[in-house]
Amino acid sequence: MCNCNQQRSTYSAANSQIPKGMVKVKLVKNKPIVLNGDFTGRTYIFREINDINWVDKRDAISLTNAQGLQLI
């Protein structure tokens, strides 16, 4: 018998690692925020309370100065 499902689950688990150089940032206020990272220039959009985005750790320092965001 084929063990394709078992191989697929092993492959999925191996690829669900934390992105290197990224941190989670959570919106804790009930107000949408759109910010650009100071270092990379990427746009980070937080639409609803408890939204979580992966943010480049170089940008995270400047983004945490914005009220309503929390590093996880």
**Residue 30 domain boundaries:** 21-71
Q: Give a yes or no: residue 6 inside a domain.
A: no
Q: Give a yes or no: residue 38 inside a domain.
A: yes
Q: How many domains does the chain have?
A: 1
Q: Give a yes or no: residue 27 inside a domain.
A: yes
Q: Give the other-Cβ count within 10 Å of 55's Cβ.
A: 24
Higher pLDDT, 14 or 31: 31
Q: What does the DSSP assignment read for 18-61?
A: PPTTEEEEEE-SSS-EEEE-TTT--EEEE-STT-EEEEEHHHHH
Q: Give a yes or no: residue 50 inside a domain.
A: yes
Q: What was the pLDDT predicted at 11?
A: 63
The Cα 7–Cα 18 span in angstroms is 21
15-19, 30-34, 59-63: which range is least confident on average? 15-19
